[in-house]
Structure 1
């Protein structure tokens, strides 16, 4: 299925990764406004919020966007995700969503909440595939865990 919103999300994310963070953030914020006005669904909300979180300069704003992504995923079915990509399963989203929240809370100095979300990420990590994405998320899980154990509130490198 051709999904114009997801094509635009992908393009904005690529701009952000290329260093055009402010432009990417504005584009994703505009898409968020569109889906909130009825031009999308919870799948779009989850994806947009998840990527928008990574483009925030303020940690509390990043947390808010990560919370929005987690809230939206409740309304996403495997069937809806598979309309975009046949290999997607909602359970496979969860480790990354939980890890984002764990890292937000860690950097905000809330080790208790960070540990709660880290445990949720671990509990769903079996949904990750044995592929590059699964390896990436598993590596981040290890980094967040290590930083939390060390008491670090610094951004991951």
Structure 2
């Protein structure tokens, strides 16, 4: 693999723009843009596009059931992706590094829905996948959130986390 940058990916760029829109407070507009992109990609489209979009879309919902539906789609898409495809987008990415966050989000969704056994299963999966997290701010963020969600599951706490993506906390 060369050090040359990958060619721009218009779908990933559009997802990124929609995510920024949501982070800037236009969550409904971001959901609309991502829904339109989802229709373009299709349920059998590029797994990296589907995973990225679904993972991002889940963060735009306060309702845990709606977030869960998108987080399940994200995990399914990750399972269909390959390291080759992920690295074609960004040479430094490893598919294994996606799983801690994907399982963390599912654990948090199930916890908020008071499905603590399912939440614990995803905490366990996230912990098994955590060694693939990079050192540094992103890895630290996911490891910290994993501890936070695991504690909430143990306490059977269903309150939304103020530190969760999209919460504004």
Same fold (TM over 0.5): yes
Q: Determine the C-alpha separation between the residues in 1 that align with 2:86 and 2:154.
A: 35
4+ runs of 1 displaced by more than 6 Å? none
- Structure 1: distance between partners of 2:71 and 2:20: 19
* Cα distance in 2 for residues equivalent to 1:23 and 1:132: 29
How many residues of Structure 1 are paired with residues of Structure 2 in the alignment? 156
Partner in structure 2 of residue 15 of structure 1: 21
**Equivalent position of 2:31 in the other structure:** 25
The equivalent of 1:64 in structure 2 is 69
Q: Is 2:43–2:50's contact at 8 Å kept on the other side of the alignment? A: no
Gap regions ≥5 residues in structure 1: none
Question: Which whole-Å CA distance do the structure 2 matches of 1:42 and 1:57 have between them?
Answer: 25
Deviation at 1:57, TM superposition (A): 3.5
Give the aligned CA root-mean-square deviation in angstroms: 1.2
Matches within 5 A, 1:31-42: 31-36=37-42, 40-42=45-47
Report the Cα distance in structure 1 between the residues aligned to 2:37 and 2:142, rounded to whole angstroms: 26
Matches of 2:62 and 2:102, distance apart in 1: 19
State the Cα deviation string for residues 94-144 of structure 1 (Å, max 9, x = none).
000000100000000011000000000000000000021111111110110
Deviation at 1:29, TM superposition (A): 0.7
User: 1:37-48 to 2 correspondence within 5 Å?
Assistant: 40-48=45-53
Q: Any unmatched runs of 5+ in structure 2?
A: 1-6, 163-169
TM-score for both structures, normalised by structure 2: 0.89
1:92 partner SS: helix
- 1:82 paired residue among 82, 87, 92: 87
Distance 1:69 1:102 in 2: 13
Aligned partner of residue 55 in structure 1, secondary structure: coil
Residues 37/65 of structure 1: CA separation in 2 closer, same or farther (3 Å cut): closer
Q: Could you tell me the TM-score, scaled by structure 1's length?
A: 0.95
Local SS of the residue matching 2:134: coil
